[in-house]
Homo-oligomer: A and B are copies of this chain.
């Protein structure tokens, strides 16, 4: 069993890593770190995690992590991974970062999308942005893996196989929704239950920061359509759902394009019709639905933001880099309810 560490174990992504790794056939958790909560029992903060989380949370300590772990997952707020990754890489530890610090390779693009310089620019060249169905398995000698964002995963899986047909600059309007766990566990106005539970609202219209990594990924493959993406806050705890309407004449046989791209993919399924978000919750699967109608084609995409859009994909990346089964320890069948 390969020993791994989780930094940021008290958040939603960190908690899902704890939960999934408790069942993993090849990896075991050897260290759980959390900043402010160091010294507390994880199960006192996140009582669902009793058992595998026994023992106090530790403060981040690169030496200690390096001595105990072969790989470390960073599940930290945006901008907090750079320093931790630098220290761990200096000690030769494999780092899988679930944050945004290493997703965009170009420092100027990073600054444009995140409003600040990257925290560890010297590591950007070696960071591997890994969305395996599109970028292939990360190399076995990867030292720093940048795990894609939740919306970015959905946008890229939906658009990449169609981008060549759409062509450079073609406008594609994508409507997305996300559950509240996407905003993290820290209480804030946007996730106050009373106001969230019966409402629905667009946010960051046309300027969500995940567009940066999607553009980068599409550019590496060729033509980049102009993606007009409007995300919305859903009154649900988890899940992502996208809807796109495309011109059939331009885009051609969408189902065939998806089959060609994902026919061998263990975690992406293509179906006729629309896909309900409920069908992927608690699973690591992405569902793509294709519904032609007259001159148009309606494409919908659903995934669990904390699994395929976060912790599940991070473990998928660990599996691939270590040469294990791609889906080791990952739930493929969802729970709805």
Contacts and interface: CB of A to CB of B under 8 A. Distances in A.
Interface of A: 12, 16, 18-19, 22-23, 46-52, 173, 175, 177, 179-181, 183, 185-189, 191-203, 205-207, 228, 230, 232, 234-239, 241, 243, 245, 269, 271, 274-283, 285, 287, 291, 293-294, 296, 298, 300, 306, 331-337
A200 B274 contact: no
Given A47-B275, A245-B228, A197 B199 contact: no
A221 B178 CA distance: 37
A230 to B, nearest CB: 5
Nearest to A20: B333
A9 to B, nearest CB: 13
B191 A228 contact: no
List 4 A-B pairs, minimum CB-CB distance, nearest first.
Answer: A199-B278, A187-B187, A201-B276, A47-B279
A307 to B, nearest CB: 10
A300 B237 contact: no
B336 A195 contact: yes
Given A232-B243, A243-B232, A332 B51 contact: yes
8 contacts: A46-B336, A48-B281, A175-B230, A187-B188, A193-B193, A193-B235, A198-B237, A199-B277
B180 A194 contact: yes
B276 A200 contact: yes
Contacts of A202: 243, 274, 298, 300
B201 A282 contact: no
Nearest to A16: B335
Interface centre among A196, A234, A238, A331 (most CB of B within 10 A): A196
